[in-house]
Amino acid sequence: MSLNSAILNRQAVVRGCAARSGEDERVASNDVSGKVALVTGASRGIGKAVALALAEAGVDVAVNYVTQDAAAQETCKRIKSLGRRALAIRADVSQGVEVARLVKTVEESLGPVEILVNNAGITRPQPLHEITEKDWDELLDTNLKSAFLVTQCVLPAMRARHWGRIINLSSVAAQTGGVVGPHYAASKAGIIGLTHSYATLLSKEGITVNAIAPALIYTEMVAVNPKARADLIPVGRFGAVEEVAEIAVMLARNGYITGQTINVNGGWYFS
C-alpha cells in the first residue's frame, strides 16, 4: 500500500469512528471558527495575545479583566476589527460569586463557552521572609482556585455538547521554582495537577484539558520583577506573547492532545 493510500485509509477510519460514536464530524477537524471562548485576564499580556489569536482563527471571545477597563475595551475593539464578536467583562476570578456572574454573562451574550483559557494570574515578587499567609491565600486564590472555579462553571455546557477545550496557564516555576517565590511556584504546580485530573475525568467526553508552561514572556509581570532577566533563558532573550498565543490556538484546534504541559520557555527547562 502506498503512503498516500495508507493516509487516506486512516482518515476514513477516524471519520468512521466519529460517525459510529455519533460525534460531530469536526471531531477529527481543526476548525474552531464560530466557537466561543472565554479568556480570563485578557486585558493585557499573554491573555490579550491569546484572545487576538483565537479571534484570528474565527473565534468569538469574552475578554475578562479585573482592574483595567480601558485595556479590556481595547482588546475587544481589536477582536471586533477581525470580524468576531467580543465582550469585556469585569470579574475577579478568585471569587466564586463573580465567576458565576462572569460565565452567565458570557452564555447570555455570546453563547456557551466552548474554549476556556484560564490565564488570569498575579505575581508578588517579594523577599522570602516577607511572604505572609495573606500573600499565600491571595496568590493561590487568584492563580489556582480561579481555574477550578471557572472550569466548574463552564463544564456543564461543554459536557452537554460533548466538545470543549480547556487551556490552563502554568509556568516554568512549577518545574524549576522560577523567580517569584514558593507561593507562585506552588500555584503553578497546582495548575498541572488540576490539568491532569480534569484531563483524565473528561477524556471520553470530547473535552481536552492542557497546560502551557511559559518562561519569561515579556509582559508587565516580567517587567516589574528584577529577578526576571533574559540571561536566565538559554536562547538569550525574553519570549513574545505571540509565541504563547500560537500554542493556545494549536491546543484549541487539536482534539488528540490532552493532559499535556506544553513548555514555551526558551530552553530553560527540558521535558
**Which positions from 56 to 85 touch ligand NDP by CB under 6 A, shown as an x/- string?**
--------xxxxx--x--------------
Nearer to ligand NDP, 155 or 192 (CB): 192
Report d(CA 33, CA 31) in Å as an integer: 6
Contact indicator for 212, 46 with CB cutoff of 8 Å: no
Query: What contacts 117, CB < 8 A, 6 or more positions away?
Result: 37, 38, 39, 40, 42, 47, 50, 51, 54, 167, 169, 248
Nearer to ligand NDP, 119 or 195 (CB): 119
Which of 35, 44, 84, 145: binder of ligand NDP (CB under 6 A)? 44
Active-site residue, 184 included: yes
258 binds ligand NDP (CB under 6 A): no
Tally helices (H) and strands (E) across the chain: 10, 7
Report d(CA 218, CA 261) in Å as an integer: 20
Active site residue: 184, 218, 256, 269, which one?
Answer: 184
Q: For ligand NDP, how many residues bind (rule: CB under 6 A)? A: 32
Residue written as grid cell 488528540? 256
222 binds ligand NDP (CB under 6 A): yes
190 binds ligand NDP (CB under 6 A): no
- For residues 93-122, which are near ligand NDP according to CB under 6 A? 93-94, 119-122
- Give the residue numbers annotated as catalytic, written as ranges: 184
